[in-house]
Amino acid sequence: MASTPVALRRLMESFAALPGIGRKTAQRLAFHVLDMPGDQAEGFAKAILEAKASIHNCKICQNFTDREICPICDSPDRDRSVICVVEDPKDVMAFERLQEYHGLYHVLHGLISPLDGIGPDSIKIKELLMRLQDGAVKEIIMATNPTIEGEATAMYISKLLKPMGFKVSRLAFGIPIGGELEYADNVTLNRALENRTEL
């Protein structure tokens, strides 16, 4: 609208460019920023710039960090014989929330997806192979999502590592705990049947 100031329109567009933020929500958020105290808005802008400036990939596991080597790779309390391979840093956060996994991680920053032109060289597989050279790692857990790309990537890496003598495992997929059989989709149900365990 002609009566909307340029700076306000630009702020709304910035919000609308974020994933899952529609036109209406973008408008609401922009107006909220205008209603904020000045120092809070400044803090928000600074948080964006500082996060962008200080955060990069860990030299070893490729997870986001503000140091050269992230606290997980650097920790003496971690089990260095297991690496959990995930698609992106959000997945590391999900596992860390559990507080049950004490091994290391490797973040691929993507999945192999030939249709999108993403081959094995476009994601951090080379960096994973480099890490395995010192012989400390015994098991690699493939924890990519159960999507076509996630499965293909897990398969690809597994085929690469198994001949080298590593144990390669995959997360279990099946009926979620608390879920009901009746409502499970066919693919999930089928997977749960295939991967049934002995009691």
As a whole number of angstroms, the distance between CA 84 and CA 171 comes to 10
Give the distance from CA 3 to its chain's centroid: 42
Find all residues with CB under 8 Å of 122, minimum gap 6, and list them: 110, 112
- Count of residues engaged in binding its own copies, rule: CB under 8 A: 59
Among 23, 47, 138, 147, the residue binding its own copies under the rule CB under 8 A is 47
Q: Which helix (H) or strand (E) holds 7?
A: helix 6-16
As a whole number of angstroms, the distance between CA 108 and CA 156 comes to 13
Instruction: State yes or no: residue 181 binds its own copies (CB under 8 A).
Output: no
Instruction: State yes or no: residue 34 binds its own copies (CB under 8 A).
Output: yes
Range 72-111, binding its own copies (CB under 8 A): 72, 88-90, 92-93, 96-97
Binding mask 48-67 for its own copies (x = CB under 8 A): xxxxxxxx-------xxxxx
Instruction: State yes or no: residue 179 binds its own copies (CB under 8 A).
Output: no
Binding mask 125-164 for its own copies (x = CB under 8 A): ----------------------------------------
Instruction: State yes or no: residue 26 binds its own copies (CB under 8 A).
Output: no
As a whole number of angstroms, the distance between CA 67 and CA 126 comes to 21
- Looking up tokens 């476009």 gives 122
**Residue in 159, 154, 50 with CA at minimum distance from that of residue 106:** 154
Minimum separation from the CB atom of position 29 to its own copies (A)? 5
As a whole number of angstroms, the distance between CA 57 and CA 50 comes to 15
Query: Which residues in this chain contact its own copies in the complex, by CB under 8 A?
Result: 1-8, 10-11, 13-14, 17-21, 25, 27-34, 36, 38, 40-55, 63-67, 70-72, 88-90, 92-93, 96-97
